[in-house]
Amino acid sequence: MASCVDPLVVGRVIGEVVDPFVPSVSMSVRYGTKHVNNGCNLKPSMSADPPSVQISGRSNDLYSLVMTDPDAPSPSDPTMREWIHWIVVDIPGGSDPSHGKEVVPYMGPRPPVGIHRYVYVLFRQPCPCPAIAPPASRANFSTRAFATQFNLNLPVATVYFNSQKEPMNRKR
């Protein structure tokens, strides 16, 4: 009997960024026409601008969205794990991050070396978030600590993509 292998486990998102969870909300992430599937590859130039994110769920539910890079500055030596790329809170279900409160402005991927994972984690909020101050640094963020601090429990959806530094165009 064949078993299904979870790409979040294979990609070490579960374990390094979040604990095991059961998805309960649908989240669609798109950069232009490119739909983000777990483990797909995107060039930094394709993901320089904020994506289109669509969240299912009831309109009276609120969600928090976190985007991190657990491989900063390099996958073999992630001493800055996790690098925070985006935080939006108080997103109503059935909408997108533009309807929420941006805590940390979007920063597109800029992997200096190696193949980096960029992880979107969605949490259901038990209530509106209090005023949140952005972290002093984007380095050494912890998705788990963020969830604990704001009583978010386990994620309700997660998706990630891979990206690596694009070669410089050579002038001849």
CATH value at residue 72: 3.90.280.10
Please state which of the ranges 20-29, 35-44, 74-83, 126-135 shows the lowest mean pLDDT: 126-135
pTM: 0.93
In a domain, 141, yes or no: yes
| Domains of the chain: total | 1
The parent domain of residue 96 ranges over 21-164
In a domain, 72, yes or no: yes
Alpha helices in the chain (DSSP H): 7-10, 13-16, 143-149
- pLDDT digits over 115-151, tens only? 999 999 999 999 998 888 888 999 999 999 999 999 9
In a domain, 6, yes or no: no
Question: Can you give the pLDDT at residue 3?
Answer: 59
